[in-house]
Chain A
């Protein structure tokens, strides 16, 4: 399946005209992207580190997850919309960029893992789960999101 048409379509869209013409607007959107990354990464980390008993060990884990999950959702919305805007400025270049692909795969995995695995499995009482299951889920979650952020940063270098 070749997705080049999708990148070409975005490259010639109204959005791309805006993002290419105004460097200042692009930079501001990028700031929002970074800010939302902080929110997303922070909330995911607090949850996962709690699952690993590293932080907030005296607060029940499902309480920590319930509190942080809502913010992950907000952050994802900002990250994705600002990301689409940023992408439109350099769409064709990104089509050929390996780290953009790895970031998108990571993002897809991260979002699916978050909503279909971590959230349904862990935001109720954990007493009937093996502690090892909980820990491996937390480690997988941290690794996925690390990949997303690291690939994202590396897009700029490659």
Chain B
């Protein structure tokens, strides 16, 4: 693969990873808050 194409692919993948990471851990934090609410009201 030539370098320009690899660079473009890398950027797209990286953005997907950053967004996906935010969603995954974001929902974990929400889950934590839910459980805290359940536990302590």
Contact = CB atoms under 8 A, between A and B. Distances in A.
B39 interface: no
Given A113-B13, A147-B24, A139 B3 contact: no
- Chain B, interface size: which category? 10 to 19
A139 B24 contact: no
A129 B13 contact: no
A130 B7 contact: yes
A128 B13 contact: no
Contact of B10 (A109, A121, A144, A147): A121
Contacts of A117: 6, 9-10, 13-14
B17 A109 contact: yes
Nearest to A99: B28
Interface of A: 102, 109, 113, 117-118, 120-121, 128-130, 132-133, 136-137, 139-140, 143-144, 147
Interface of B: 3, 6-7, 9-11, 13-15, 17-18, 21, 24-25
Q: Is the interface of A mostly helix, strand, loop or mixed?
A: helix
A108 to B, nearest CB: 12
A141 B40 CA distance: 37
